Every structure is written in structure tokens, then in C-alpha cells.
Amino acid sequence: MKTYIDFKNRVKAGETTCEQELSSILAAIESQKDLNAYLELNEDAILSARESDKRFAAGNPRPLEGMLIAVKDNIFVKGMRATAASRMLENYRPIFNATVVERLQQAGGIVVGKVNMDELAMGSSNETSYFGGVKNPINKEYVSGGSSGGSAVAVAAGLAHTALGTDTGGSVRQPAALCGTVGFKPTYGRLSRYGVIAFASSFDQVGIFSSNIEDTSLIFDVINGQDENDQTTAKLDAVNTFEKLNEDLPSKFKVGVLPDDMLKQLSADILEVYESKLEQLKAMGAEFHKIELINSEYWVPTYIVLTTVEASSNLARLDGVRYGHHTDLVVDDVDYVALNRGEGFGDEVKRRILLGTHFLTSNSQNNYYDKAKQIRQLITKSYAETFTKVDFMFLPTTATAAFKANVKQDDPVKMYLSDFFTTSANLAGIPAISIPSGKNSLGLPIGMQLQAARFEENKLLRFAKALMK
Ligand code: GLN
């Protein structure tokens, strides 16, 4: 994996240039094409790299000067395709940048290319992509995780310094854990979603992949803050976490840990790493509190009901009339939209649109949608209370390490349950981060997760850094 901060120091020391770094990354992308991480490369990257070299030479580099970034294909980069890995948007080219991309570029960041993902961000293995699955670089028989599989693999395989993804129910943290990178999902509302293709609007958040906390913090500082184009961004001043990353931690702090019955869900390799990290936390001064996170059996069902409802509404605009794939068959009006959508969407997306539509029909709205909203409030409240007692929650990111390709694809319920430990942070809108924490006997990475109260990114990143040592 590459580290931007090291790279920047090497440029400053005259040991390399942005142009050389870009060429070596492009060569690596070419030689590892079989991972299927990239969908499109940015032809203008070379011009930006030369511009960055000039700025370094003139002694005025911007905060992210020359950082080579992979961008998930549901985030707009002006002039490049944004397919969200769906046939529906196969030829869609947005004419503006997402706010997060605009801010990265203003700070000197360079988009290397757009990366693969599960179709419209629905999936946990990157196998629902219209462009084929993404392979785990540690062992190509295994999945990368999803839905931001391409972003995780770009970082894990050294095909970018860092990457952007989106996290609706774990899509940054879970692939980060499975590929051995850092994956950070900030508080709901902290980052703009302007120019990000919506999946479930009350859950979606842009997230950051990197090899280390410093790089994550640098990016977060540049992209966070209110955006007049996204009314859901929090009306708070932008925060600066990087300056405070090295501040001393309190000598004593409180950490919420899983109750024993939840530990039973973990595979042996994950449990072993979890326990060894608890030892490390203890040595750092942690006092543990077993936290009974209420309604955990409803986390995934509540997530599925609410996100499919929101998706069925968000995706209604993709009808092939105004946007998206249109059929070549000659048919009457009604069939036209049905055929466009039938041909344009894959099975998982169709399943979710149907589920969401079903949950909104008059017969099931009371039984599912309204109940799910109530449970979401209880989960949010339970987290808020938890964070009056502890500084963090510490839990695994996933219950197992990466699984083999093609094993869960035909079993949606099994696939949905792989998100057990990640969905609750999106239900409650809190920040959470997955950090690489070890490997199992097959050499597959294992990630652990820290969660904090809303808008406590500063604290979260400082502890994550300490815990990664
Ligand atoms: N794996 C989850 C799902 O399939 C999460 C997706 C996401 O965060 N975008 O919905």
C-alpha cells in the first residue's frame, strides 16, 4: 500500500515527482487489470500531475498536492462516466463535479480514475456490478467486499494513494476490513452528497479509504463542511483534525464492548483479533463497559426496510426516458419504461425496488415502514445514551474475514447479514472507522471498528491512530 504523506516527503526531498508516481501507478493498474478495480482512467491526470510538480518546485504545494485518488463510480467527476456499475447508466457522463471531488481537486488532489462497485451501491461483495466482480488482491478467489470494492482494492493493491467510496450500511468499512485498509465513514451530514448518486438518502455518506490515519485525516479536513448545494449538510464550521492527531490521549478512557452473546456470532479468527485488540486498549488505559445495544436483532431488517423504501423512490428517476438505458425494442409507452428498467437494472437492484415498493403499499406501510422508523429512533436513542457512558464503541467490522466469490451471491439474506456490525452506525448517523487489525491463518485481513458520538470525528481519528500502532 502507498502512503501519501511519505510520497509528499519524497517529492519534497527531490526523490520522485508526481508525474513519475502517476506513471508507476498507471503501470500497476495495467499489470493488475484482472482485479477489475478500475472502470475508467482519467486522461487529464497527467496534466494535473505536471501542474503539481510545478507547484512543488515553486515551494507552494496545496494540502493534497499530487495525491492520486480513486473515485467510486457513483460520485461525479466532471467529464468522466458515472455508471454506478449499472447498465442503466452505462453511458452517463455528468457535467459537474461532486462537491467532495471539487474540494479535493482545489486542494491539489488528482483523480486517477473511476472504480468499480456493486450496482448502485447495493451489495456486500462487489458481485452485483454490471462490469463484473472485483477480486481481493490478497487472494483472488475471495471477494473484495462491497459495495465500494473497487475503492478498497485500489488502495490495498497500491493502485492509488487513497480512494473515495460511499457508505449506506457499511460499504466503506466492510470492504476496507476485507482488503486490509482504513475505511472511514464520517457523521451523517458532515460531508456533502451533491453529485453523489443516491441510494438511501437518510443513510448515504461519502467515506475515505487509505493505508493510514494521517492520509484519511488530511482528506477529511479538505472535504468536510457545509455545502450550499446539499441542504442535508450540517450547519457547522469545517473541522481540522490533522493538527490534533498527535495530541496526547487521556490516560483513562471508557470503551463500550460487545456483550458475550454477541461474541458468539464471531468466527474464531475475528474473535481472536478482537480479544487481542482489547488487551491493547487496556494497556492504553481503557476501562471496559459491556454495552447491551438494544434491538440488535432488528438492525439489519430495519436497515433493509428503510433503505429499500428510499431506494425505490430515489431510483424512480432512472426510467430511460429522461436518464438512462433505453431499449432498442419498439413497443408502446407503458412497456417502454418497464423494458428500459427491466434491461437496465440487475437482479439485486430489482429486488430492492420491489421490496421498497412493497413496504410502501397501504397494507404494509404500518407493519413495516412505520415500525422500522420507530425502531430506528430507538437505536439512535440507545447509541446516544451509550455515548454518555463511554467514549467509544469497539466492535469488529465484520463477523468473518473475506468469503469466496460466488458463495453468497444467490442467498440475499445471508449477504444482508454480512452487514450486521456496520448498519447500526448508519441507522444512528454516527461516525465509524474500520482499521486493519490483523490477519487470519489464510492471510486474509481482519478489521476492527470504532464508533463515536455524532460529530466526534476528531476524537475518533486520534484513537484510531493510536490503536493502529
Ligand atoms: N452491503 C450493504 C447493502 O447491500 C451496504 C451497502 C452500502 O453501504 N452502500 O445494502
Measured from the Cα of 418, ligand 1's closest atom is 1
List strand residue ranges (DSSP E) for 7-115, in order: 38-41, 68-72, 110-115
Measured from the Cα of 426, ligand 1's closest atom is 8
Mean of pLDDT values over 349-371: 94
C-alpha 122 – ligand 1 centre gap (Å): 5
Q: Which pLDDT score is estimated for 2? A: 97
Nearest CA, atom 4, ligand 1:
123
In the DSSP assignment, the letter for residue 331 is -
> What are 105-142's pLDDT values in tens digits?
999 999 999 999 999 999 999 999 999 999 999 999 99
Q: Are 278 and 246 in contact (CB under 8 A)?
A: no
Q: Which pLDDT score is estimated for 415? A: 86
Mean of pLDDT values over 67-72: 98
Residue 72 a catalytic site member: yes
Catalytic residue (choose from 2, 8, 72, 459): 72
Q: Which of 9-23, 319-333, 370-384 comes out lowest in average pLDDT? A: 319-333
Q: Which pLDDT score is estimated for 431? A: 98
Domain-by-domain residue ranges, the chain?
4-244
C-alpha 311 – ligand 1 centre gap (Å): 12
- Residue 377 pLDDT > 90, yes or no? yes
According to DSSP, the residues that pair with 165 across neighbouring strands are 207
Provide the pLDDT confidence category of residue 295 given band limits of 50, 70 and 90. confident
C-alpha 350 – ligand 1 centre gap (Å): 15
The 10 Å Cβ neighbour count of residue 34 is 8
Q: Which pLDDT score is estimated for 115? A: 98
Provide the pLDDT confidence category of residue 378 given band limits of 50, 70 and 90. very high
C-alpha 110 – ligand 1 centre gap (Å): 27
> What are 304-334's pLDDT values in tens digits?
999 999 999 999 999 999 889 999 887 777 7
Q: Which pLDDT score is estimated for 24? A: 98
> What are 414-425's pLDDT values in tens digits?
888 889 999 999
Q: Which pLDDT score is estimated for 213? A: 98
> What are 439-458's pLDDT values in tens digits?
999 999 999 999 999 999 99
Mean of pLDDT values over 273-302: 94
With the most atoms of ligand 1 within 8 angstroms of its CB, the residue from 118, 173, 415, 426 to mutate is 118
With the most atoms of ligand 1 within 8 angstroms of its CB, the residue from 73, 307, 397 to mutate is 307
Closest CA to 51 of 120, 94, 123, 107: 107
- pTM score over 0.85: yes
User: Domain 4-244 is in which class?
Assistant: alpha beta
Query: Beta 286-290 vs 253-257: how paired, if at all?
Result: parallel
Q: Which pLDDT score is estimated for 261? A: 86
Measured from the Cα of 146, ligand 1's closest atom is 1
Mean of pLDDT values over 28-51: 98
Average confidence score pLDDT of the chain: 96
Mean of pLDDT values over 362-380: 94
Mean of pLDDT values over 257-285: 94
**String of DSSP letters for 260-300:** HHHHTTS-HHHHHHHHHHHHHHHHHTEEEEE---TTGGGHH
Provide the pLDDT confidence category of residue 341 given band limits of 50, 70 and 90. very high
Task: Give the neighbor-by-neighbor strand order of the sheet with 110-115.
Answer: 38-41, 110-115, 68-72, 162-166, 206-210, 182-185, 432-439, 445-451, 392-396, 253-257, 286-290
**String of DSSP letters for 140-173:** TTBB--SSSHHHHHHHHTTSSSEEEEE-SSSTTH
Mean of pLDDT values over 181-210: 98
C-alpha 120 – ligand 1 centre gap (Å): 9
Measured from the Cα of 199, ligand 1's closest atom is 9
455515548: which residue's cell?
387
Pull the grid cell for residue 393: 464503541
Pocket of ligand 1 (CB under 6 A): 121-124, 147, 166-171, 199, 419
Q: Which pLDDT score is estimated for 363? A: 86
Catalytic residue (choose from 147, 148, 211, 312): 147
> How much helix, strand and coil, in percent to the nearest 5, is found in the chain?
45, 15, 40
